[in-house]
Amino acid sequence: MNSNENLVSIVIPPPELQAVLNHLQQVSTILKPYLIALTQEERQTIPKMKDKTISFVEKALDYAISNPEFTPPYMNVPELKIDLDAVKDLTTILQQIQPLSSNLNDTEMLSGSEAYVAALTYYNSVKHAAKINVPSAKPIYEDLKKRFEGQGSKDKKE
């Protein structure tokens, strides 16, 4: 990808942006009673169910229903079914959201990259102008170089 290419040049009209935000708020409000936030520690320590595990859990549920004599008394088979159904429903939602989230992240990243490269281009131009004592360049350079302070750049020594 050429850093001089401007691949993103979008303007989301304010009414459309507001409509998106309103719909996302609606989705959040609808799902809020059904969602749980885990701590980082919980996320790391709980057993996780992946695609291959789903069929195992489905088979175990089927067997627990058809052969209840092997079900431990402390195991709640109806809750197992509720949990499995929840996984299926949430997976359906995630399959819709994940591509959208990925595209939003990529577009935001590329837009930011293009804006940052353009700002660096301007900064380097001002920096050069300040070095050759172009009037009014130095205060702009002094203000913009604050972004790089503490990063060990040569600008810090100037």
In the numeric block, the tokens 């993103």 are attached to 8
What is the predicted pLDDT for the residue at 125? 97
Q: What pLDDT digit, counting tens, does each position of 33-67 carry?
A: 999 999 999 999 999 998 889 999 999 999 999 99
User: Which of residues 52 and 17 earns the better pLDDT score?
Assistant: 17
CB 84 within 8 A of CB 62: no
**pTM for the predicted model, two decimal places:** 0.75
Is the predicted pLDDT of residue 93 greater than 50, yes or no? yes
Residue 1 pLDDT level (bands cut at 50, 70, 90): low
CA–CA separation, 68 and 75 (whole Å) = 11
**Over residues 109-118, mean pLDDT:** 95
CA distances from 147 to 22, 123, 128, 144, 155 (A): 35, 11, 17, 6, 10
